[in-house]
Amino acid sequence: MQRLANKANVLKQFNATRAFSAPSTKYGSRLDEHGEPRFLEQVKLFYAAASEKTGISEEYLNLIKACKSVVRFNIPLRRDDGSLEVVTCYRAQHSTHKLPVKGGTRYSPHIDLQEVEALASLMTFKLAIADVPFGGAKGGVKIEPRNLS
């Protein structure tokens, strides 16, 4: 009976996620091309669902949820043929309550600011659960590494 109740709760949460149709933000649509919430919006939805069960005040939950800093910058890349290419990079530091911040760098032509911010948030939560004394961060470089020498 308990398993059936858990399955019903998961289904209810899934349907709530699918029904998510909030308006666009200044960083782009909250929905992807299939009408699903984008990665950052999914992280925020699951954070909201989990935070309801904590008993922590709303102001502290908002403080925990907020990303501390997000940076977008461009770097020049000199190719083997001598041409110059501009590569877009991102860095998100979700939590700096414990320093240093920890998180790797993702190299992908499909990376965007929202994905980097979502991964930084998840890194913060992972480190907190594992009791690792670092804040969460993530970097992204919009490039295909297989095409580089």
- Predicted pLDDT at 18: 45
Q: Which of 44, 102, 138, 142 is catalytic?
A: 138
Domain boundaries in the chain?
1-66, 68-149
User: 80 exposed, middle or buried (CB, 10 Å; 0-12, 13-18, 19+)?
Assistant: exposed
Domain 68-149 adopts which CATH fold?
Answer: Rossmann fold (3.40.50)
Is there a contact between 103 and 132 (Cβ–Cβ < 8 Å)?
no
In angstroms, the CA 74 to CA 144 distance is 15
In angstroms, the CA 94 to CA 147 distance is 31
Residue 104's alpha-carbon distances to 63, 138, 146, in angstroms, are: 23, 6, 18
Local confidence band at 17 (pLDDT 50, 70, 90 cut-offs): very low
Local confidence band at 35 (pLDDT 50, 70, 90 cut-offs): low
Helix ranges, the chain (H): 2-18, 39-51, 58-65, 113-129
User: What mean pLDDT comes out for the span 23-47?
Assistant: 69
- Predicted pLDDT at 71: 93
Catalytic site residue 138?
yes
User: What mean pLDDT comes out for the span 104-131?
Assistant: 91
